[in-house]
Structure 1
Amino acid sequence: MTRPVDYDWALDEYRGRMYYIHAYGEQDDFSVSVYFASGDGDDKTEIVRVDTAHGTTHFHKLYRRDEPAPEVDWGLWETVTKFTENWREYARRYEQRSG
């Protein structure tokens, strides 16, 4: 049995905002998100999230709230890898949508 994770780690800065990954859970029951902190750091704005809520693994592009969250076949660590590799693109899209 694997031990559950609950980690936040810094990615890098994009357009004056520091971005982070948060990973919580186990390989098949998890939530992974990319977010930035604003103000004193207590306010966190998620821009993308993959989670296993509601019985399926699905990908929320939170900058596109009008679109459904498609199902994906990713585990916790595959999601962390994908988000680590692509977070700048998600940040850019978030910036485009939010102005």
Structure 2
Amino acid sequence: MRTVEIKLYDIFRKDLKLDDDRARFLAEVIQETVKAEVSNRHVEYKSQLKEDIFKIEIQLNSKIEQSKTDMIKWMFAFWVGSTITTLGGLLAILKFMKP
């Protein structure tokens, strides 16, 4: 018997003055009931946690996709700006080099 079962057994036997067999039986039944309830709740919490993680993963993937899109837009804008600046510089140099 486990510590909890022994304590329950002692309470049933001494305080409630049950015989040994009944006290042991009640302690075991209570322990099994508690164990089953804990197991059921564990399964519930585990499935809820999986659902929550799945929702968070979907949100995170959406934000990553949005970030990639924004980054591509900014890269294109930077590339266009750099190209225009370079071409303007080259045209200015060519203009000043003509006699």
Q: Normalization by structure 1: what TM-score?
A: 0.23
**Structure showing the higher strand proportion among its residues:** 1
TM-score normalised by structure 2 residue count: 0.23
Larger Rg: 2
